[in-house]
Amino acid sequence: MLKECAQHGYFRAETCPVCEQPGRFLMNDRELDHLGRILTGILRHFPDRYGLTMEPQGWVSLPQIVRAISQRHPAYHWLRVQHLVAIAETDAKGRYEVRDERVRATYGHTVEVELDLPTENIPDHLYFPVTPDEAAIVLEVGLKPSDRKRVHLSKTAEDARAAGAVRTPQPVILEVDIRRAQGGGLIIMRAGKTVFLVDQVPAEYLSRHEMVAGAPTDAPP
Confidence label for 67 from pLDDT (cuts 50, 70 and 90): very high
Does any domain span residue 113? no
Round to whole Å and give the CA distance between 201 and 136: 15
Residue 136: alpha-carbon gap to chain centroid: 27
Give the end of a domain, one of 57, 75, 105.
105
218, pLDDT greater than 80: no
Domain of 75, CATH number, reads: 1.10.10.970
Round to whole Å and give the CA distance between 97 and 80: 17
Count of structural domains within the chain: 2
Read off the pLDDT of each residue in 105-126 and give the average, rounded to a whole number.
Answer: 93
200, pLDDT greater than 50: yes
| Residue 89 sits in the same domain as residue 140 | no
Percent of the chain with pLDDT over 70: 95
Rounded to two decimals, the pTM is 0.81
| Residue 97 sits in the same domain as residue 133 | no
Does any domain span residue 71? yes
Domain of 151, CATH number, reads: 3.20.170.30
pLDDT tens per residue across span 170-198: 999 999 999 999 999 999 999 988 999 99
| Residue 19 sits in the same domain as residue 97 | yes
Q: Which residues pair with 60 in a beta bridge?
A: 103
Does any domain span residue 116? no
Round to whole Å and give the CA distance between 199 and 188: 8
Round to whole Å and give the CA distance between 54 and 111: 10
Does any domain span residue 119? no
**Domain of 66, in residue numbers:** 2-105
The whole-number pLDDT of residue 213 equals 39
| Residue 169 sits in the same domain as residue 91 | no
216, pLDDT greater than 70: no
Round to whole Å and give the CA distance between 148 and 111: 8
| Residue 17 sits in the same domain as residue 60 | yes
